Structure 1
Amino acid sequence: MLNEDLKGEIQSAYRQVLEGMDLVPRYGQRLMIAEIARTLAGIETDEAGRRTSDEHVCVLEAGTGTGKTLAYLLAALPVAKARGKRLIISSATVALQEQVLHQDLPALQEHSGLTFGYALAKGRGRYLCVAKLDQVLDGAEADPTLSLFDQALDAGTGDYFQDLARQLADAYGDGSWEGDRDSWPSAIPDADWKRLTTDHRQCTNRRCGHFNACAFFRARRDMDQADVIVANHDLVLSDLALGGGVVLPKPADCIYVFDEGHHLPDKAVGHFTHRFAINGALRWLRTLKKSLTDLQVALGGQPTLSRLLGKLPEAIAALEPRLGEVFSLGHQLAELPDGLPRGSQEESRHHRFALGRVPVALREQASVLTTIFADLSRDLETMADILRESLDPDKQTGLSKEQAEPWLPLMALLHGRAVEGHALWQAMSEEDDPEEPPRARWLTFERVQGDPELTLSASPVSAAQTLARTLWGACHGAVVTSATLTALGRFERLQERAGLANRYRYQRLPSSFDYARAVLSVPLEAVDPGDREAHEQAIIDFVKHLDASEAVLMLFSSRAQMRAVGRSIPKPIAERVLTQDRLPKRELMDRHRKRVDAGQGSIIFGLASFAEGIDLPGDYLTHVVITRLPFAVPDDPVGATLAEWIESNGGNPFMRIAVPDASVKLVQACGRLIRKENDSGRITLLDRRVLTRRYGQALLDSLPPFRREIDGGAA
């Protein structure tokens, strides 16, 4: 319950922020603060502070201009501190993460009267490993594990890499750099950074001689003291996949705020997808086989290690022929030759199993491989644990630290690959619950460095159950917010995808914008895209008649059509066009702004990614042209499997998935125009289906209340 003291603290902080930052109170912002505070303060707990109620999540659609970041910070932070919980702010994009970290939290700290500390959370792989840096400076070429495995890690040899390592060491040593990759002033190539960082399997934690100087654990110590932790969806999901409480605090001790929450379901699906490349695995198994003698010489003095190393030849001998059989079987199932022809149009293609049902022959192979990889994973984990314990002076393993330390990264890397293999083969061999959507399972045929490769993949078609169990069911409380959470004006699609229960609190907050300042137009020139040539010509004709002084964002659903239109427009107009695939995004946006500042017209040609995250307020964008309704074609294996399952159960995947998802994307695309309270302009939709198909009116009704001009007349 929101008691008077807590209510007074939130209200006082809000008044001080408004006064200190010279802000105008917004109705939607006040509603958002109240809804979050009521939800989180209403969470019931037992004597130990554990949550006992199940209405602990609120889902709030808050459009651009609501001021939602300050709203959720002002409402959630006092409640979290009062409950002794940590506030995790998670975003989908680096831009929002940096805004929260460098603008919103410092402003709140300065003006609200609230006392709190905050820190940024990143994965271990974003930080320098001081032990590895030390090895490089001492001459990493001598590291025996590099000569045995994963030669790609040795890509950074030469004067450039050594010079980079010295620069990093100097900057970290004098405190001018905190050791995270993202804050280094120039980009560090992936191959070089791999040699300078580590992961949770390779890291030796407190056993490392450089523990007190470790960049990651320094950041962790700051995080352990923070009331607010700024993270991203990927890091939160990675932590949940590890069981929760590994990188971030335990979910039960956290209140989460997921900003840009509409991205969470897709990101979650990606985190629980398993892949296995056959020839890639055969290569590392062959390399391991060649290295067994050296491993026995280096580590065979330890009895358990000697015994487990002695088992590896048998495991490799069992795996190699079976993986070769799977490679051939995969090509037979897809009716392809064993190798894709060089220069073929099919250098990368999928073969999806209908309803995720793996053929019997492949499932039998997967079942055997599951057992082999399970045993291999256990043995490699045991070996890695022994090497890790050997670094502890209080543990007597029969190996010295000097013997064990060089080999731990290799053994941890092998263990990780074996675990990934076991997860994939298990997913391929298991039967799906007939009452639930099946997993998508497919084969991918491609060329890797000129050689044919077969990759097997398995993915849930929805992360709803996983999120319901590991996140919503485990956390103390949560807020999900975004400008676009509803589809066709309802929350059902998000609930279905994200595993959000009906009992949670849902609300669409009113916008502070006057949408009547913008016009939504469906002109006479709008054509049904089913007639591709007529639709393309209609776009070309429309571009020819754009006002020469306009600042335009034209959104295409097809790269081929975008390029075709670009080739067909007259040169004077083409000179005003900036095309997404010809310039880096930042440079394109800079050129566009400079043209507008100079009083010139500018037209951006962009694809779907430009329908979200583009912020061009005021005169920088006065006209958004949507060439086609943003329907996604469910041709990816995950989307196609889900659509197939819905249809097999008598449903209509187009109406259940495609139309609601298109509604969200259409709202996002239209949202590029009105970014500030005084913005105005025009949105033109060049797709006649919005007027001729039965779903068209529902799509129009889901949009903000723009003034409408349909077929050239007011509506």
Structure 2
Amino acid sequence: MGASAALLGAEGPLSQRLTAFAPRAAQIELAEAIEDTLADGGVLVAEAGTGIGKTLAYLVPVIESGSRAILSTGTKTLQDQLFFRDLPLVAEALGKRPKAALLKGRANYLCLHRMELTRERGEFPSREAPAQLQRVVDWSSRTRDGDLSVADVLPEDSALWPLVTSTNENCLGTKCPDYDDCHVARARRRAQEADIVVVNHHLLFADMALKQKGFGEVLPGAELFVVDEAHQAPELASRFFGVSLTARQVDDLCKDILAEAGEVPGALGAVRTEVAACKDALAVLRASLAERLPDRGPWHRLLEHAEIREALQGLDQAVADLAAPLAGLEGVSRGLDGCADRRDEMQAKFDRLDSAGAGEVRWFERRGRGFGLHITPLDVSEAFTGYRDELDAAWVFTSATLAVNGDFRHFTREMGLDDATTLALGSPFDYPNNALLWTPALRVQPNHPGYTEAVLETVEPALQASQGRAFLLFTSHRALQAAAHWLAQRVDFPLFVQGTAPRSSLLKSFRESGNGVLLGTASFWEGVDVMGEALSLVVIDKLPFAAPDDPVMEAQSARLRDEGGNPFMDLAVPRAVIALKQGAGRLIRDVADRGVLVVCDPRLTTKGYGAAFLHSLPPMRRTDTVDEVIDFFATPGVAAAAS
């Protein structure tokens, strides 16, 4: 028996000191596997079902060993929970005092330089922004870490965020006049000195990309990397190993050149003409992209239009023309020197967009008036393997959703983890008795125009039986909006619709309502934790296959086909299975929870590949009739909770 088994056992310190702690065999097995991985410097890929307590399973061996470790989580919310709650509790119970640091991406930290620029400029993006800025200024004199994300001084949807934080593009680094007091620099110094550093995946993979580009490492070296919510890793890694050029980056550069030039006598006149031309070229490209194009698509769709080709060339030339006036102002201010560096990086991105490699895909996306031009690698396994080879460290990848029908090959192949040990641990929750899977026989197929209405007509009796208390999860915003309109005419339950308020506000209102119905798309399929009677019904409209016009998926499929693989079964199905498992995981979050999962898509039971989805879900009792659903909610457990 290893140290972790004793510490997590019935007689261990956690059982003695943590309220409501109960020994769990699967948790101990996971902790021992992590302990072994740390000892031999290997790689572990572990699926840990909901309720196992994987956070304790990796915190105990990490803290007890005294190893330098980087713990990476899927979201900032989980990151804060791990650092401020879980890690101190476990450390205290074990009688240890590891030096820990919290490190987030720079967009979470107040940038003193940009805050002052915004005050001096006096140009605000909204009517509320001046008052919000004053709250930030007042808070800036009190904060020790500058973490705006937990400060409660700015609404999460405030347009002021980019004006008081920095990005990799606009940060002046050591050239900044406020560098000595920089919150980002201080946070990184604390991380360099810590035994345990808590980060999120965006920062982890951004650091990997920076190392690859030769800009030095952001995160300190470690003996162990733990990647929690690891199912997100392949997509995030591909994003950070790629290249992105956005309308906002160009717009921000133009604004910052003017702002920095305004601080230097005579400089504004030197840059005004070229900046105005760049802003005009950006407007022309925005307007041309608004015509005859989908929201996202492959690069060749852009080049089919002469107007768009000319607009792209025009913006490329306008960015190039900024070089001369900025070079003429070299050395007059650190801010303008920083803008010159950003212009050089932007020009390099334009050059890359002209010459993407064979293993990459170029694509575009449009969002409102904005756009993004991207290069994404089709395979990150080689790059990630190279990153791991540079480090003498053990790696642990864990999540509740990594395997497809018990098979980890999809995940390990994408991440280049051929040498990994795999471990599958089921949830300790009593799914056979506490959960029911309803697969209704819908009269239409998912591609039918009336499909969403058919879904709602089918599940309305279940909504009434559950007395609301439901999540309705959709695979498209169009279906969500149609459902919101339909339900508003027919049910009396409070409706909470994604997009009408910030996510945290919607969840808070849903929990407090007691009988609400929340409608969400992708961002509500994972990372949402509603325990107890507030949530008793989860409805999923379709199997969550990637959009057929996704340009990255199209390119990956073509490559897989050329290599003799089956893009649908080897790529589309595994990704959809993992996404479905995430959505289904919203239902049972605690040992006493009970509820019904409804997967409406008829392909689940009529197509051969449906078995991969069914076998990957927790072992729930299945039904194809609404009567059993109504009977389930009529049993004392749920009925009593609803009364």
Give your verdict on TM over 0.5.
yes
Cα shift at 1:111: 0.8
Q: 1:35 to 1:568 in 2, by over 3 A?
A: same
Does structure 1 residue 242 correspond to structure 2 residue 210? yes
Does structure 1 residue 38 correspond to structure 2 residue 39? no
> Aligned residue for 1:167?
138
> Aligned residue for 1:641?
555
Moved more, 281-290 or 680-689: 281-290
CA contact (8 A) 1:615 1:672 kept: yes
> Aligned residue for 2:419?
503
Cα shift at 1:632: 1.8
Give 1 or 2 for the bigger CA radius of gyration. 1
Alpha-carbon distance in structure 2 between the residues aligned to 1:488 and 1:154: 49
Does structure 1 residue 93 correspond to structure 2 residue 75? yes
> Aligned residue for 2:607?
693
Cα shift at 1:602: 3.5
Q: 1:378 to 1:16 in 2, by over 3 A?
A: farther
CA contact (8 A) 1:348 1:446 kept: no
CA contact (8 A) 1:626 1:685 kept: yes
Task: Give ranges in structure 1 of 5+ residues lacking alignment.
Answer: 44-55, 142-150, 300-308, 332-337, 388-403, 433-437
SS at match of 1:97: helix
Q: 1:25 to 1:196 in 2, by over 3 A?
A: closer
Counterpart selection for 1:273 from 225, 228, 242: 242
C-alpha offsets along residues 418-476 of structure 1, whole Å, 9 cap, x if unaligned?
A: 213313422531442xxxxx31113557874xxxx886432213322222212465351
Counterpart selection for 2:201 from 221, 224, 233: 233
Counterpart selection for 1:222 from 190, 210, 213: 190
> Aligned residue for 1:11?
6
CA contact (8 A) 1:125 1:198 kept: yes
Alpha-carbon distance in structure 1 between the residues aligned to 2:509 and 2:283: 49
> Aligned residue for 2:403?
486
SS at match of 1:684: strand
Does structure 1 residue 708 correspond to structure 2 residue 626? no
CA contact (8 A) 2:472 2:517 kept: yes
Alpha-carbon distance in structure 2 between the residues aligned to 1:542 and 1:370: 52
Alpha-carbon distance in structure 2 between the residues aligned to 1:294 and 1:21: 56
C-alpha offsets along residues 86-137 of structure 1, whole Å, 9 cap, x if unaligned?
A: 211111112211110111111012111223121111234533445666x669
| One-letter amino acid of the counterpart of residue 121, structure 1 | L
SS at match of 2:578: helix
Q: 1:202 to 1:580 in 2, by over 3 A?
A: closer
SS at match of 1:553: strand
| One-letter amino acid of the counterpart of residue 362, structure 2 | R
> Aligned residue for 1:523?
440
CA contact (8 A) 2:297 2:549 kept: no
SS at match of 1:89: strand
SS at match of 1:242: helix
Counterpart selection for 2:55 from 48, 58, 69: 69
**What RMSD, in angstroms, separates the aligned Cα atoms of the two structures?**
4.7
| One-letter amino acid of the counterpart of residue 70, structure 2 | I
Q: 1:610 to 1:431 in 2, by over 3 A?
A: closer
Cα shift at 1:271: 1.6
Counterpart selection for 1:418 from 344, 358, 378: 344
> Aligned residue for 2:565?
651
> Aligned residue for 1:28?
26
Q: 1:198 to 1:234 in 2, by over 3 A?
A: closer
Counterpart selection for 1:184 from 130, 151, 158: 151
User: How is 1:291-330 mapped onto 2 (pairs within 5 angstroms)?
Assistant: none
Does structure 1 residue 559 correspond to structure 2 residue 477? yes
User: How is 1:571-586 mapped onto 2 (pairs within 5 angstroms)?
Assistant: 571=489, 573-586=491-504
CA contact (8 A) 1:202 1:413 kept: no
| Aligned positions, number | 617
Alpha-carbon distance in structure 2 between the residues aligned to 1:29 and 1:13: 8
Q: 1:371 to 1:472 in 2, by over 3 A?
A: farther
Q: 1:417 to 1:550 in 2, by over 3 A?
A: same
Does structure 1 residue 459 correspond to structure 2 residue 376? yes
Counterpart selection for 1:60 from 20, 27, 46: 46
Alpha-carbon distance in structure 2 between the residues aligned to 1:681 and 1:293: 61
SS at match of 2:29: helix
C-alpha offsets along residues 369-424 of structure 1, whole Å, 9 cap, x if unaligned?
A: 9999999999989997xx4xxxxxxxxxxxxxxxx5xx112221231232133134
CA contact (8 A) 2:257 2:336 kept: no
* Percent of aligned pairs sharing the same letter: 27
Q: 1:639 to 1:112 in 2, by over 3 A?
A: same
> Aligned residue for 1:79?
65
Cα shift at 1:654: 1.6
Cα shift at 1:514: 1.5
User: How is 1:142-157 mapped onto 2 (pairs within 5 angstroms)?
Assistant: none
SS at match of 1:547: helix
- TM-score where L is the length of structure 1: 0.73
Cα shift at 1:42: 1.4
Does structure 1 residue 474 correspond to structure 2 residue 388? no
Cα shift at 1:486: 1.2
Counterpart selection for 1:119 from 85, 101, 105: 101
> Aligned residue for 1:442?
363
Cα shift at 1:605: 2.7
| One-letter amino acid of the counterpart of residue 504, structure 1 | A
Alpha-carbon distance in structure 1 between the residues aligned to 2:31 and 2:581: 24
> Aligned residue for 2:639?
none
Q: 1:516 to 1:377 in 2, by over 3 A?
A: farther
CA contact (8 A) 2:63 2:91 kept: no
Alpha-carbon distance in structure 2 between the residues aligned to 1:157 and 1:709: 52
Cα shift at 1:210: 5.5
User: How is 1:620-635 mapped onto 2 (pairs within 5 angstroms)?
Assistant: 620-635=534-549
Cα shift at 1:583: 4.2
C-alpha offsets along residues 139-163 of structure 1, whole Å, 9 cap, x if unaligned?
A: 845xxxxxxxxx9799999974774
